[in-house]
Every structure is written in C-alpha cells, then in structure tokens.
Chains A and B, each alone.
Chain A
Amino acid sequence: MTSTSPPKKKSWSWRSQAFRGLIYQLIAIVLIGLAVWFLAHNTLTNMKARGIQSGFDFLLGPAGFDIGESLYAFDSAQPYWQAFLVGLTNTLRIAVMGIVLTTILGTLIGVGRFSRNALVRGVCYAYVEFFRNVPVLLQLLMWYLLFTEGLPDSLDAWVIGPMFLSKGGLSFPIPVWASGHLWGLLGLLLGAVFAVLYRKWAYQQFEKTGVLKSMFWVPLGLLLATGVLGWLIGGAPSTFNAPIKGEFAIENGGSLTPEFLAVLVGLTIYTAAFVAEVVRSGIQSVARGQSEAASALGLNPSQSMRLVMLPQALRVIIPPMTNQFLNLTKNSSLAVAIGYPDVVSIANTSLNQTGRAVECIAIVMLVYLTTSLSTSLLMNWYNTRSAIKER
C-alpha cells in the first residue's frame, strides 16, 4: 500500500473560509463601531447643544442630602462618591443577608419536597408554586404594605422581650462597645484556630483508627468557650444600648427599618422558591439507588440526605444556584420602589441633584456588573473546588 499524501492545502485564497470569516468579522466590527460612534456622537452633540454639563467630577462635590439608613454615619457635607458608597453597602447588605437566608430557606423547602410526610410535601409545593408565580415587585409592595399598615404605631409598638416591633421597624438592643468586646473577639479568633487544628487532628485520627470523633460540636464548643473566656478577661462588659419609648417614637438601640425588612423578607421568600426548585432538581439528579444503598448501609434518612445525597447533588445545584444569587442581587434594585436607599435610589437622587443622567446610570450598571461578575467568579471557584475529584 502506498500512502499518498493528501493534496497540499493552498495556504491562502480569496475564497477560503478563513478569509470569509475575516470579512464577516470586519463587517461586524465596523457596523458595531459605527453604531457606538453614532450614539456617542449624538449624545455629545445633544449635550453640547443644550449646555448640559457632563463628566464624573461631580462625585467629589458635597452631596447635600441625607440618607435615611446606612451602616455607618453619613453626613450631607460628604461628597457624592461617599453617598454612592453608602448606597452600595446598603445594596450589599441586602444581597449578602438575602443570599444566606434564601439558601437556608430554599434548601429546607427543596428538601421538604422529598419528605415522607405528605403535609410537608404539600406545603412546600404550595409555597414554591405561589411565590414564584407572582412578580417580585408586587410581592415587595405587598410586604411593605403589611409592614407599614399591619404593624402598630411606634407609640404602641409590640414588645418582644427587649425588642420593639412597629411601623418604625424593629428596634433591638445593641451592646455598647467596650474594650472587653475586643478581648472577646480575640478569644473567638483564637478559638477558631483551635477548632481548625482540632478538626485536622480528628480527621487524621479517623483515617488512622476509623474512630469517628465529633467534627462539629467539639469545635463549636472550643470556639464559644474561648470567646466567653476572652470576654470575661476583658471585664465582661454587659451594658446594652436598649431601645426605649420616646415621646414620639422609639429611641436609642439599633433598628432595622420597615423598608429594609420588606426588601429582605420579600427577596428572600421570592428567591427561596427558585432555590427550592434548584435543590429539588439537584437531589432528583442523584440516582435513586444511592439513597437505597444508603439505607441499606443503615443510615437514617437525615444522614443519607446529609452524607450521601446532598454532596452529590451540590455539583448539579451550584451553577443554577449562582444564577439565583445573581438574580437576588439584581432584584434588590427594586428596593427603590419602596424607599430603601440602595445604590439605585442614591443614583436617582444624585441624578436629579446634578442632572448627570448618563454618568449616574453608568455607575449603577458598573456596580451591578462588578457584583455580578465577582459573585460568578466566587461561585465558579467554589464549583471547581466541590467538583468530584476522580481518583
């Protein structure tokens, strides 16, 4: 058999696929470039013709407006960029707390769909179907209405232990900062180090001897014990800034506004319905034999769920879960409809005080893009970490 080498490809031709591809790309780039230039040119001409000032220099000027709630003190004399920062922290506060709560609630409900109890199954099903089929904006408006209309006035607030719940929101005692708390924190930090070391040791023992040691309660105990010890060493400060009923409203203490509560509760409950579905399909993706094998090994249902089903389901769950987290973060922009000063609300106010519409909307988009991308990256990292390591 003689092997004939295939005819040599012509290195380059007008009719070659590569050339055509190049042309298509060129055309696409030119068209898009033209379109972008067209829009930018129009905007600039329009703004020039009407004497609209532009540029981001306004960010350095004093904001001149107060913000109803922020994690740290904000004064109206501070510049715009700090106001944006407050809005950003408010958005992130909702996003982070919402993601944590929605994961817990959603997982519970998703797992509940497999409960052996028909009532639990039914309740979880009804929950999912009701909450995911009503627009989130409507749900937020409803929650806000409930929080402002349903709760009593600040003056006859419901008293729950040291806390007050009223139209003014939830007021609760906060510890007055003292050096003792620092000691407590140091103790916690030390405890965390101990806990990690203990877990490592216990795991090694398990690999060596097969004796299972407590992997959860002992480290937790260590953590708490050192924390309390540190606090005691620091002199056990226990003054609290407790809320009290003032003349017109509740004063002192920490408080969560009804706007914050409505956004948080609304987003959590809405997103949890989707998370539940994600978890459910994840669990369903694990072969049925696995759970049967687990019970054959003598694991009880909760052990089988925790040790066998969930770790495998996680691989399927994580990518769609990331999407839900991103949705929650983006949906937090609807907070603007019920008066929570998130970054969109701050941008709207700034836009109006300064007239820099393009700039302010650009900032909002940038903020959300950055958060979205970084959440994606974080979850991707977690995804690769939790992917099955084939040995």
Chain B
Amino acid sequence: MTATLFQPIAPRPAPVQHRGLIAWVRVNLFGDFVTSLMTLVIGGAILYWLPQLLSWGIFRASWAPNFDACRVEGVGACWGVVTEKYRIILFGRYPFEEQWRPLVATALMLGLLVASCMRAFWHAWLALLWALVLGVFFTLMYGGSLGLLKVETDRWGGLPLTLLLSTLSLTMAFPIALVVALGRRSNLPAIKTVCTIYVELIRGVPLISVLFMASFMFPLFMPEGFSIDVLIRVLVGITLFAAAYMAEVIRGGLQAIPKGQIEAAATLGLSYWQTQRKIVLPQALAMVVPSIMNNFISTFKDTSLVTIVSLYELTGALSLALNSDSDWRPFKIEGYLFIAAIYFVFCFSMSRYSGWVETQVNKSKLR
C-alpha cells in the first residue's frame, strides 16, 4: 500500500456574475470578438443616426399649422401638415360641420373591437352588441334620420371608412370561409371542386384586379338599371377576397383534428352537421384564432388599396388633402409618416393580441 500525498486542486475562480446589468451587457453585447464588433458597428450607427432623427422629428420640427414656418432654413419635420390637415386625413371629404359624427362612429367601432377582444364579453349577446353598434354606425354616418343631415357614401372617408371596410368584410367573410372550408374537405366531388376552384382562383389574383372588377365591371354583369352603391361593391370584393384566405386558415384548423375523433363521433351516431358543430369546429376554430387575427391585420392593411379605385380611405384621404394643395405638398412625407403611425398602432396592437391568444390556446393544450 502506497500512501499518496493529498494534492489539493487549485481553487477555481469565483463564478462569473450571471445577473445584473454588467453581466447582461457582457454576455449580450461583448460575448466574443464578432459580437463586440457588431455591437460597435450597430451601436455606432445608432448613436450617429438617432440624434439626427430625433432632432429632425422632434427638436427642430415645426408644429404650427403654418407652411411658411416650415420653409425656414434649418427646420426639421413639418408636423404642421398634420395639425393643419388632420381633419381631411381622418375623415376625408365628410362635411366639415358634421365631422363629430364620424368621430363618434369611429370611437364606437373601436370600443366594439376592443370589447370583442376581451374575455368578459365573449357571450352570445356580443353578436347583438355588434348588430347594435353597426346599426348606430350607419345611422350616424349616413344620416337622413333623427334630424341628421344625409351624407352620401361617396363622401365618407378616412379612418371610419378604413375601419368599416376591414371590420365588415371580415365579419361577412367568416361564414363564407367556414362553408368553403367545410366544402373543401367534403366527400362530395362536385362541391369540393367548386370550393377549391374558388379558393385557388381568388388566391391566385391580386386584390386590385378584384377591386377593379367590383368597382367598374360589376354593373356590366347586372341587369340594366340595377345599381348598387360603389362602397358596397368594393366591400363585396374585399369580402370575397378575404373569405378565400380565411377558408384556407380554417381548413388548416380542420385538418389538425385527428380523424379518430370524427370516427368516434360517427360511432356515437352523430350526423355530419352534428359532428362538425359539436366536435370539430369548436376545437378547430379555437386553434385558428391567431391566424384569423393575422387575416384581420392583412385585410386592414389591404383596405389601403381602395384608393386605387377612388374611395378615400386613410391613404386616399391623405392624397386628397395634400395633392391639391401646393403649399403643403412638399411635406407629404410627414403626412405619410402620420398615417403609417396610425396603421402601425392598429396592426401592432392586433398582432400583440394575437400573440396573447396564441399563448392562451397553447396553455389549454398543455393542460
């Protein structure tokens, strides 16, 4: 037996600090050579550009609705274009004195949308609330009753129009999409073919060609003397378009339901519609809520295309406000940024919400 001498191992250095700002910076910004280099390059760029941007957008900006103030040398952004023209940008050609009406209508619609996103409102009476708010919206906007001045739809514009187009088209697209999605999974070849053709046809063409058709060719398709308001035609166009995309989303949800469940339902003696209503759809729809939200976001953005067929929603209202006014036209970029901000606020909050719903859905799956 040989005795071995105890050889102490050299003490290890204290572990590197893992928490706190400095540690975070060390790991995330200066982890290794490449990371540090990138930090320097990007950080440098930010440090160089950000002050200039801030100075242009805030510190040197002119806020007064006075275009001469914007022409002064050294003035940055001219937000006066917004303070001067915001009413045309937000409400289009709606009569000036009556603009409290679209304001109230927009506020109501927004309230409705926010409410629909909250769990406390997820009851059957929400549908009733929708009907009510939409009714009030139209009464307010169109007038002609309750002592309100009648305002033709061709003078509607700006944000209320954007909201109206996106909300209504999505609401109307949903039932169509549901039927088409079920149709595409049907066993009946003719119905399946028809639904497939519809979806592929619509998804294969750009929205503006659909809008062109709805806006200018629709009356050619109808018996003579039969005419529908252009707003409704455009609405129908967007609806048919959105429905095709939504049908695909719903079909994805339907496909995710295991076949065994449907067979089990058949074993229990449920009919086709009972199976769909009680077993398949509740699960499938819950699964696709986030994707439907994404659909809503893209439809909301797509409404900007109706400017091309001469409806003055947010984007169109901006060109309406600025194109004809040579004093303000040089400051168009500020106007664009303003409505870009509006779109951004809407879409960003919707995508956040969709993310929240997604985690909720996943949570229930984990249980």
Contact = CB atoms under 8 A, between A and B. Distances in A.
A touching B, CB within 8 angstroms: yes
Interface string B125-164: 0000000000000000000000000000000000000000
Interface string B273-298: 00000000000000000000000010
A42 B227 CA distance: 13
Contacts of B31: 116-117
Chain B interface secondary structure, helix, strand, loop or mixed?
Answer: helix
A369 B190 contact: no
Contacts of B187: 21
A336 B308 contact: yes
A139 B343 CA distance: 11
A377 interface: no
Interface string A134-146: 1111110110011
A133 to B, nearest CB: 4
A28 B183 CA distance: 11
A357 B216 contact: yes
A115 B27 CA distance: 12
Contacts of B42: 117, 119-120, 123
B184 to A, nearest CB: 13
A369 B332 contact: no
Nearest to A139: B340
Contact of A129 (B24, B200, B201, B348): B348
A287 interface: no
A130 B340 CA distance: 10
Contacts of B297: 133
Interface in B194-216: 194, 200-201, 203-209, 212-213, 216
A344 B209 CA distance: 8
A372 interface: yes
A24 B191 contact: yes
Chain A interface secondary structure, helix, strand, loop or mixed?
Answer: helix
Nearest to B342: A134
A53 interface: no
A358 B189 contact: no
A334 B333 contact: no
A49 B330 CA distance: 48
**A116, A130, A133: most-surrounded residue (chain B CB, <10 A):** A133
Interface in B61-114: none
A32 interface: yes
Contacts of A365: 204-205, 209
B175 to A, nearest CB: 17
Interface in A3-60: 21, 24-26, 28-29, 32, 39, 42-43, 45-47, 49
A336 B39 CA distance: 41
B308 A373 contact: no
A29 B190 contact: yes
A252 B239 CA distance: 49
Contacts of A146: 333
Contact of B343 (A138, A331, A358, A373): A138
A78 interface: no
Interface in B12-60: 24, 27-29, 31-32, 35, 38-39, 42-43, 46
Contacts of B351: 129, 133
A135 B221 CA distance: 31
B167 interface: no
A137 B304 contact: yes
Nearest to B226: A42
A43 B304 CA distance: 29
B188 interface: yes
Contacts of A135: 301-302, 304, 315, 343
Given A120-B38, A333-B209, A138 B191 contact: no
Given A46-B224, A117-B39, 8 more contacts: A116-B32, A134-B301, A334-B206, A337-B307, A357-B220, A361-B212, A368-B206, A373-B200
28 contacts: A21-B187, A21-B188, A24-B188, A24-B191, A25-B188, A25-B190, A28-B190, A28-B194, A46-B224, A47-B220, A116-B32, A117-B29, A117-B31, A130-B344, A133-B343, A133-B344, A133-B348, A133-B351, A134-B340, A134-B344, A136-B301, A145-B333, A326-B203, A330-B206, A336-B208, A358-B220, A365-B209, A368-B209
Instruction: Across the A-B interface, give the 5 residue pairs with the lowest CB-CB distance, nearest first.
Output: A133-B347, A118-B28, A25-B190, A333-B206, A135-B301
Interface of A: 21, 24-26, 28-29, 32, 39, 42-43, 45-47, 49, 115-120, 123, 129-130, 132-139, 141-142, 145-146, 149, 326, 330-331, 333-334, 336-337, 344, 357-358, 361, 364-365, 368-369, 372-373
